[in-house]
Structure formats: structure tokens, C-alpha cells
Structure 1
Amino acid sequence: MDTSESTAEERDPAPEDHRRRGWRRWAMDTRPLRRPAYRRLWSSTIVTAVGSQLTAVAVPKQIYDITGSSAWVGAASLAGLVPLIVFALWGGAIADSMDRRKLLLVTNSGIAVTSLLFWLQAFTGLESVAALMVLLAVQQAFWGLNAPARNASIARLVPEDELPAANALGSTVMQTGQVAGPLLAGALIPVVGLPELYLIDALALCVTVWAVYRLPSLPPLAGTAVRRAGVKEIAAGFRYISGHTVLLLSFLADIIAMVLGMPRALFPQLAAQTYAPYGEGLALGLLFAAIPIGAVLGGLFSGTFSRARRHGWMVIGAVVAWGVAITGFGLSSSLWVGVAFLAVAGVADMVSMVFRGAILLSAATDEMRGRMQGVFTVVVAGGPRLADVLHGTAGSAFGPKAAVAGGGLLVVAVMLALAAAVPALRRYRV
């Protein structure tokens, strides 16, 4: 594919964005969808956002059916986390050294083949936990290689002022998948059976491969050195972060919000104790669904914030709003009030995601974007898991409500202190 032609397609300006009137000012900002290349990438996400959740439900369900042990389900989660972290860091370096479109084709094909193997082992009745854990590790390794290239490509497909809108569109689809996918899986398992969930995911990934195939070529920009993707290059990415304060602060903001303020490990205990009069099953389902639903609502009304130019202040405000909402959740005794606070936290998380992603894409050079996205993938995957350990321990020591409220207050205090002490994030704007 001719690079000059593809570059022209990537950067061809969209039609003039006329001022939107009435309710459309508040609705989802869809400007990036006017650009064919981004539209192809985003459309593929719609299909896989739901399909990937089918596999995410099917794997722990199958492991539990085989073993009858939740401990094995937890071990499988760890088996997937380690390769995700390792290959996300390596994948970021690879994404900076080769055509990102080619890397997306290879990794999406690998994920599709893995889903097909998931279906084959379930269809044949293999009932091997070891095989499931190996397949899960391979799948997460491919995902770790895929995510940095996919996210880094967005900055080559839309102009800088549309990056928040593009991130909002992608995040909204992914959050919708986290709500709709498990619900669909629960409805399909009694009807079609567990193996077919894997097969549906594999077929959905074929659509993704086709959409990526139609993307323009995305090689390293002219003038950047051709590198190998090794430990030296990964280390160079971390040095780059340490030398660019605004990038470091964007990662720290997410770590503060997720590690100190993500209370999901306490949801089962809260459902069984605090919200037991409402029905434990209902309470548990609502607690887990509330944050993703809030994030989806935030995405649907992204027009209210996507044009903001002070990206640093948007991140600071969103993290503080998250902390306040989590504190309110911890102090509430009513299930419906608690769910409302979690939904508000979901909106704040969406805003934070949108502008942290925009900062990573705009403040980093193209030759470093893959590695920045690799670290971003690790932070997003690892933060909530560290929070599970922290909140689980604090909940046992001080009670779940005190642990949740205390975590929320810590988020507010630490974020404000960091913003006051280091002005780089406050000052950053497009």
C-alpha cells in the first residue's frame, strides 16, 4: 500500500464542523466518524466489544464447572494478567518499530485463532483446566501486543483537536460491551450452550480483521530510526515518561483513582450485609453494573466535554469527582443512592479516560506512542487488581463502608496535593 496515499487519507480534513444547536451540543461528539479510516477502526470495536465479553464470561464459567472451585477461577485470572503485562510493554515497543496496521492484522488474527481453539476444546469436551489457562495466557499475550498499536494508531487517523472525541467514542463502545456482553452471555448459555460463546467471539474477530485490513498503512513516520523492539527500547519508553512530567502525572492520576478508590472487591460483602434487605443478588448485580452504566452515559453525552482544551484540568477535576462520588457511595445506606453515586463515578471515570488518553497521544511523539500505550495498558489492567487487595484488606480491618469512604477521601486529598505540588498537569492544554 502506498504510504503517501494512505497519509493523505489519514489527514484529509473532515467537513467543517458547524456549531451544533439545541440538544445536539450535549450529545456524543461524532466528528471523528467522518474520517473513513477511524470509522473502520471504531466499527470493528463495536463487534468485538461484545464478543470479547462472551469469552470473558465463558472461561471462568467453564473453569468453575470443571473444578467447582473459585480459587481456580482466581488463578486463571492471574494466568492471564502476567502475559498481558509482559506483552503490553513489549507490544508497545514493537508498535513503535513497524507498520502498526500489520501488527494489528497479526495480533487480531492470533486472538481469533485462540478463540477458535477455545471453542474446539469446549466442543470436544476436553475439560482440561491446564489447557484453558494456557489458551487464556496466549490470548492475553496477543491482546497485550494488540492494544498499544490500536490505541497509538488513533493519533494518525484523527487531528489533535478530535482526540478526546475519538477516545470517548471508543471507550463508550467498550463500556457498553462490558454491560451488554455478560447479559447476552447469561441469556445465550441456556439456549446455545457454552462452546458457542467462543465461536461467536471468533466470528466477530473475523470482522475486526477485515476492518483492520482496510486501514491505511501506518509505518513509522519519515525521519524516525528503525529499531528493534527489545529491552533497551522498553527501558527508553520509561525514561521518556520520567522526562516528560505531564505524561508521568497522567499515569499517576489513574493509579491514584483506581488503587485508592476502586471498591469492587467489597461489593460482595456490601451486597450481603449493608444492602441485604434489597436482595443480595439484585444488590450485587447493580453494584457491578453501576460504574460501567455511568461511563456509557458519560460517553453518550461526550459533547458536553470533548471540546475542552485544558486537558490537564479535566483530568484533575474528573479524578476528584471520582473520589467524591466513591466517598458518597461509602457513606450511603440506601442501595439506590449508592448505585447513583457509583454511576456518577462512572461518568467521572469516562471523562478521566478520555483526557488521559488524549494527553498520551498528543504529548508524546509518534515514535514513542506505542510504548506509552503499552504502559497505559499495564496501568489500566493492574490498578484495579491492586485495589482489590488494598480494599479487601482494609474492608476486613475497618469494615467495608469505612474502607470505601476512606479510599474516596484519599483520592481527593492525594490528587489535589499532587496537582498543587506539580503544576505541569494544571498547565497542560491543547
Structure 2
Amino acid sequence: MDAGGHTTAVETARNTDDNTANTANTATPEDTTAPPKTGWRRWVMDTRPLRHRPFRRLWSSTTVTAVGSQLTAVAVPKQIYDITGSSAWVGYASFAGLLPLVVFALWGGVIADRMDRRTLMLLTNAGIAVTSVLFWAQSFAGLDSVALLMVLLAAQQGFFGMNSPARQASIARLVPAHELPAAGALQSTVAQTGMIVGPLLAGALIPVLGLPVLYLIDAIALCVALWAVWLLPALPPLIEPAGEGADGSRRRAGWRDVADGFRYIATHRILLLSFLADIIAMVFGMPRALFPQLAAHTYAPWGEGFALGLLFAAIPLGAVTGGLMSGTFSRARRHGLMVTVAVVAWGVAITGFGLSANLWWAVAFLALAGVADMVSMVFRGAILQSAATDDMRGRMQGVFTVVVAGGPRLADLLHGTVGSLIGPRAAVTAGGLLVAVSTLGLAAAVPAFRRYTA
């Protein structure tokens, strides 16, 4: 979730930023190379992208909203459960948010390729902020309407679906190509940190301040982030979108453009393989649906609630650790090989988790999986930014958003079903092995992917 800036301030930023050469409508960064780090500094987080003021503003908007968005993510299901007393209604609400997220992410990707991405981020971020204010208003007024909550959640996810492709596709315009992995690591680390801190903070604040305050904090954070995006430079299309009507007017963005995006993926093997690697890792290797059963049975001696909390926190903690140590990998040039190694490592770590009867070994393997997931996210994101042309980046990010949102939900269905048939640990182990073997098979079948260099 992002936010925005003023035209005069943008022009000032363009003229005063020593590290970014933003010409009048292109926002193209200088391809400057910082002196190599030495000693221990070469291992810690790679912060080179923060030298560029526009990216620093985009990143700061993500930082501000990372925790606030998680407060709302906890508050909505909590309020629905308080009203209904039913976990089923919590699940229905989740599905109500998934459908608009998928639809508007795909459509938003097309729009992000056809209009100024900064403008699109401003409009959609304002929409997200308005829904957060409405969440606060209904909770403060004590309306207790599940239908209203589901409508607001669907609207919020629709706005987020349109916002995400524009935000992610803008990164390649704000930092040099060789800094894309580092920029991805910075973005992902903040998001993962929010996933840890936000729920913990929500759990501490709900008994003291109540649900309305959580919504209000998110709304305030979104307004602050909106100012950060307002200060970004203009990000219009570098290439005018093709297609005009008979009268010479520009053809409106439609679902034919979405189909063009999928055809683009199908004809670019590097992009196709990056998506397939992610789908394999998430669908076969994300066993979160089995965490409650494992906590209740396999790891019960350590305390069911304690074990469940550790299982859910382990992967994000590993991802944050990987992000903080991004200097160890962000300068790698062979992006395809890094994705291959990271996804195989994820599969091996998940296999180790499935074989672990000891809670602490299980948490350690999940944390290693989190590190591998961070590396995979960084280089898959870099491939999407560098291998796609600017007029297609929005659509690529829209598809990426759908994969990220839909993959884990398919994994929940698959692991829940298979786990009930063969047992949770066997399902996890089989899934991890399938990830590793399938990824190695893809890499062997398409050598160009593992050889891909930015």
C-alpha cells in the first residue's frame, strides 16, 4: 500500500537528487555503482537502492503501512468471529476478498501499463485509505454487520489488487537494473517484518484499546504513506500503448489486454519458468493448513498454542533474517540459477520440517525455508522487472499478485486434503520432495533459465 506527493515537490526532487537522473517524463535512474563494501558490511542488508530518493520514498510508504495493514488483517476476522461465533464466516470473508483481488490485480496490471503509475498509485491508495476509515467508522458505531464487513473487505482488496502491480512495476524505473535484487530484498523484508510485528501488536492492543483503534491506526498510516507517493516523480508509459479506435482515439484497457499479458508470458520462457517455479514452491510446499494439526498432535508436549505460534512465525522470521543478510546474495548476476537453488532449498527445508518430530528442529527447518523464500522472491522479482519490457511490467506484476494470493490458498486445499488421507507429516514431506524434484526437472529441461543473467 502506497501513497503520494506534490508536483512542485516532484520537480524539486528531480533537480536535487544526486543519485537519480529523472528526466521530464521518464524517471530513469542513473546506473551508478557504489564502491564495494568490505569486511562485515558486505554481508548485511544491501541498502544501495535507498541512495535514490524516489525509491526511498516508495520504500518508506511500504514501511509505514507494513504494520498498519496487518492490524486490519487481524481486526477484520476477529470482528467477524466476535459477531458470528463461526470460523466458517471468517473463511467466507477471506474468499470474498480473494475474488476482487484476483480480478482487479489482472485488470490493474493492464491499467498500470497504460497510464502514469504514480497517478494510479495515488488513486488506489486513496481508495484503500477510505475503506480503512469506513472500517473504523462501522466498528466505532458498533454496527455489527458481517455483510458490511465483507463488502468493505472486497472493496479494499480490489483497490489493493490495482495498487500492487503499479507499485511493483515502478521499481525498475526508480533504481538501476543491477540494484533490482537489493530493492526487492528491501521491499520484502519490510513486508515480512510487518507480518510478524503487526499480529503481535494487534494481539496486545485489542484487549486494551479495542478493534476501532486498530482500524484507525491503519487509516492514519495510509494517509502518511499517501504523502510519500505524492512526492514521487511522474511515471508515464515509456512506450505509448498500441491500439486506436476507428476515430483515432486510444483503445480502452480491457480483458483482451489481460490475455495479451498471458500470451507474453507463454512466449517468454524465462518469465514462464519464474512463475512456474513460484507455483510449484507454493502449491506443493506451503504446509500452513497442517500447522494446527501438527501443533495439536505431533508437537503437543511443548504446548499446543506455543507450538502453533512458533510454526506460523518461523517462515517470516527466516525471511526477515534473509533480508537483513541480503548483502550475501543481492549482487549475484545469475538470477535464474539463484531462483532454482532457492526453490530447491525451500523444498529440502520443507522436507526436513516434515521429518522433524522435535518442535525446535521443525522451527529451524521452517526458518531455513523462510530464508530460501526471501532469496527466491528477490530474484523472481528481479527477473520480472528486467526480463519484461516496461509496457508489460504492470501485467506481469498483476499475474504475480494473483500467483502470490492464489498459490497459498490452493496449497491449503491440497495439503488439508492429502494430510487427512496420509497424515500431516507424510503430506509435508512428500510436498517438499516434489518441490525439489520438480524444480530440478524444470532447470534441466530449460537450461536457459538457470543460465539467465540480468
Query: Smaller-chain TM-score range?
Result: over 0.9
Kindly state the Cα deviation for residue 12 of structure 1 after the two structures are TM-superposed: 4.4
**Residue matched to 2:311:** 287
| Aligned ranges 1:269-280 → 2 under 5 Å | 269-280=293-304
Instruction: State the one-letter code of the partner of 2:453.
Output: R
Unaligned runs of 5+ in 1: none
- Per the normalisation by structure 1, the TM-score is 0.98
Gaps of 5+ in 2: 1-6, 16-20, 243-249
Aligned residues: 430
8 Å CA contact retained: 2:45, 2:326: yes
Q: Residue 43 of structure 2 corresponds to which residue in structure 1?
A: 26
Deviations 1:233-277 (A, max 9, x none): 111101100110100000000000000000000000000000000
1:428 aligns to 2:445 (yes or no): no
Q: Does the C-alpha gap of structure 1 residues 59 and 14 become closer, same or farther in structure 2, counting only changes over 3 Å?
A: same
Distance 1:16 1:390 in 2: 46
Q: Could you say which residue in structure 2 is the equivalent of 1:297?
A: 321
1:162 matches 2:179? yes
C-alpha distance in 2 between matches for 1:264 and 1:116:
31
The DSSP-based 3-state class of the residue aligned with 1:7 is coil
Partner deviation per Cα, 1:208-243 (whole Å, 9 max, x = no partner): 110010000000015554652101111110110011
Task: Report the counterpart of residue 398 of structure 1 in structure 2.
Answer: 422
Aligned to 2:195: 178
Structure 1 equivalent of residue 359 of structure 2: 335
What do residues 54-86 of structure 1 show as CA deviations (whole Å, max 9, x unaligned)? Answer: 000000000000000000000000000000000
Alignment of 1:247-262 (within 5 A): 247-262=271-286
In the alignment, the residues of structure 2 paired with residue 250 and residue 322 of structure 1 have an alpha-carbon distance, to the nearest angstrom, of 15
Q: Distance in 1 between matches of 2:336 and 2:78?
A: 41
Matches within 5 A, 1:367-406: 367-406=391-430
> For 2:127, which of 100, 110, 127 is the aligned residue?
110
Residues 1:124 and 2:141 aligned together: yes
Aligned match of 2:4: none
Letter in 2 for 1:61: K
Contact 1:94–1:228 (CA<8 Å) still a contact in 2? no
- Contact map agreement 2:55 2:171 (CA 8 A) in 1: yes
Distance in 1 (CA, whole Å) between partners of 2:251 and 2:330 is: 35
Deviation at 1:15, TM superposition (A): 6.1
Find the aligned partners of 1:243 and 1:402 in 2 and give their Cα distance. 37
Tell me if structure 1 keeps the 8 A contact 2:29–2:176.
no
1:424 to partner: Cα distance: 2.4
Q: Residue type of the partner of 1:221?
A: L
**Per-residue CA shift, 1:106-158, capped at 9, x if unaligned?**
00000000000000000000000000000000000000000000000000000
Residue by residue, what CA displacement relative to the aligned partner does 1:28-72 show, whole Å, maximum 9, x if unpaired? 000000000000000111110000000000000000000000000
Which aligned runs of 4 or more in structure 1 are off by greater than 4 angstroms?
Answer: 1-6
Matched, 1:8 2:8: no
Q: Secondary structure at the match of 1:8?
A: coil
Q: Residue 101 of structure 1 corresponds to which residue in structure 2? A: 118
Identity %, equivalent residues? 74
Structural mapping, 1:21-420, within 5 Å: 21-225=38-242, 227-420=251-444
Mapped to 2, the partners of 1:275 and 1:411 lie a distance apart of 24
Structure with the bigger percentage of helix: 1
The answer to whether the 8 A contact 1:14-1:34 is kept is no
Opposite residue 312 of structure 1, the aligned amino acid is: G
User: Take 1:103 and 1:150, find their aligned partners in 2: how far apart are those partners?
Assistant: 9
CA distance in 1 between partners of 2:163 and 2:253 (Å): 15
| Letter of the 1:126 counterpart | L
2-side partners of 1:407 and 1:222: how far apart? Answer: 43
Distance 1:394 1:236 in 2: 36
Are the aligned partners of 1:155 and 1:163 in contact in 2 as well (CA < 8 Å)? yes
Distance (Å, rounded) in 2 between the aligned partners of 1:167 and 1:73? 32
Asked if the contact 1:64–1:70 (Cα under 8 Å) also holds between the matched residues in 2, the reply is yes
State the AA in 2 paired with 1:405.
T
Q: Is the 8 A contact 2:164 2:397 kept in 1?
A: yes
Q: Please give the alpha-carbon distance, in whole angstroms, between the structure 1 residues aligned to 2:28 and 2:145.
A: 49
C-alpha separation in 2, matches of 1:241 and 1:12: 26
Relative distance call for 1:368 and 1:14 in structure 2 (3 A) is: closer
Letter in 2 for 1:228: R
User: 1:97 touches 1:227 (CA, 8 Å); kept in 2?
Assistant: no
Letter of the 1:429 counterpart = T
Which amino acid is the alignment partner of residue 49 of structure 2? P
Structure 1 position 7, deviation (Å): 2.8
Change beyond 3 A, Cα 1:216–1:374: same
Q: Hey, what's the Cα distance between the residues in 1 that align with 2:211 and 2:67?
A: 15
Quote how far apart the aligned CAs of 1:190 are: 1.2
Contact 2:133-2:216 within 8 A present in 1 as well: yes
